[in-house]
């Protein structure tokens, strides 16, 4: 995504009306698995496409980090949805979601090992070969780490990006969550990542429970996450930033304020 899209929002059926009413909006994201590959595109998305808003399919169930090869049917679905939406790119996670035939129901962290890098690289290659557009990879928020990490987070991610040629979808809220839970410095990670590979960023809210910060997507975006958006933008402003909200939707006024805050923190024009 070489084009600057500014501030966007994750399109969800529950807030489709709100999203449709954003006058300056230039891009949204849709959960890829929620779009049928046969049959029409959801009405709200079709309307956005008609007014030139880019729609990025965001996969959550490919399991690119699984030791097993990605399911060709899931890859084909993602490719079809990307073509249907005329998407500039697609995105997925550096994570695994199933193993041994069992669904975890969530994005799970990988050990930061060379073996895991190999697994991701092989699956991204299998996926990219079928896709009509580039893929951006998103590092996740991990509640726990594996006991045998060989690489730092930056080295792990950089190795994957270099070997796959993929773009980076940097989730600022995940950077914040991981740093807070591990007691590390989020700016150190920003300084060590290849920021020029960022296709776009995620921004989301979270909450602390029992001493652990959870990237819930159902709480307000906390001020330190917005400060990180500013810190990143000062280093190298990402071409686009997207607010992710996945439930407990607040009044429209509050969502607008969050979008405006992201615009202010990154220096992009407000889309509201």
Partner 1 sequence: MSGDLARRQADLVAALTSGAPVPPGFDAHLVGVARTALLRKRAGEVARAWPMLAASLGSEWQATFAAWAATRPTNGSFRDGFDLARSLRPLTGEAARELAEREAAWHYDGESPPTRRSRAATTARTWLLRLRSR
Footprint of partner 1 (CB under 8 A): 66-68, 96, 98-100, 102-106, 108, 111, 113-116, 119, 143-148, 209-210, 212, 214, 247
Cβ proximity to partner 1: between 50 and 209 the closer is 209
Report, in Å, the least distance between residue 237 CB and partner 1: 32
Residue 137 C-beta: closest distance to partner 1, Å: 18
Q: Which is nearer to partner 1, 85 or 94 (CB)?
A: 94
Within a 13 Å sphere around the CA of 257, how many CA atoms are in the beta-carbon half?
Answer: 9
Of 26 and 61, which has the nearer Cβ to partner 1?
61
DSSP notation for 129-194: TT-SS-EEEEEPP-SS--TT--S-HHHHHHHHHHHH--EEEEEHHHHHHHHHHHT--HHHHHHHS-
Q: Least separation, in Å, of the C-beta of 136 and partner 1?
A: 23
Instruction: Give residues with Cβ within 8 angstroms of 234, minimum separation 6.
Output: none
Cβ proximity to partner 1, 91 vs 216, nearer residue: 216
Nearer to partner 1, 104 or 234 (CB): 104
CB of 43 to partner 1, least distance (A): 20
Q: Shortest Cβ distance from residue 266 to partner 1 (Å)?
A: 29
Long-range CB contacts (within 8 A, 24+) of 46-53: 47/20, 48/11, 48/19, 48/20, 49/85, 49/86, 52/26, 53/25, 53/26, 53/27, 53/28
Is the backbone of residue 116 left (phi > 0), alpha (psi -120 to 50) or beta? alpha
Element (H, E) at 108: strand 102-108
Shortest Cβ distance from residue 224 to partner 1 (Å)? 21
Q: Are 1 and 198 in contact (CB under 8 A)?
A: no
Nearest CB to partner 1, comparing residues 66 and 239: 66
């Amino acid at each position: 995504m070489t084009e600057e899209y500014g501030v966007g929002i994750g399109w969800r059926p529950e807030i489709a009306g709100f999203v449709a009413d954003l006058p300056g909006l230039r891009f949204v994201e849709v959960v890829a698995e929620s779009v049928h590959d046969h049959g029409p595109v959801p009405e709200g998305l079709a309307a956005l496409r008609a007014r030139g808003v880019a729609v990025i399919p965001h996969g959550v169930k490919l399991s690119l980090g699984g030791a097993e090869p990605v399911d060709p049917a899931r890859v084909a679905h993602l490719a079809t949805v990307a073509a249907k939406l005329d998407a500039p790119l697609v995105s997925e996670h550096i994570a695994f979601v199933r193993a041994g035939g069992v669904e975890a129901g969530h994005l799970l962290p990988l050990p930061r090992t060379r073996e895991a890098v190999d697994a991701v690289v092989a699956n991204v290659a299998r996926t990219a070969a079928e896709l009509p557009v580039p893929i951006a990879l998103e590092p996740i928020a991990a509640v726990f780490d594996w006991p045998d990490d060989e690489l730092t987070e930056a080295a792990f991610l950089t190795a994957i990006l270099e070997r796959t040629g993929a773009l980076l979808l940097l989730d600022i809220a995940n950077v914040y969550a991981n740093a807070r839970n591990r007691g590390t410095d989020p700016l150190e990670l920003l300084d060590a990542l290849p920021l020029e590979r960022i296709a776009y960023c995620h921004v989301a809210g979270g909450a602390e429970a029992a001493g652990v910060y959870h990237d819930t997507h159902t709480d307000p975006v906390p001020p330190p996450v917005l400060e990180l958006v500013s810190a990143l933008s000062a280093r190298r402003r990402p071409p686009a930033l997207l607010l992710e909200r996945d439930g407990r939707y607040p009044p429209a006024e509050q969502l607008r304020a969050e979008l405006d805050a992201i615009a202010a923190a990154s220096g992009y024009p407000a889309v509201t």
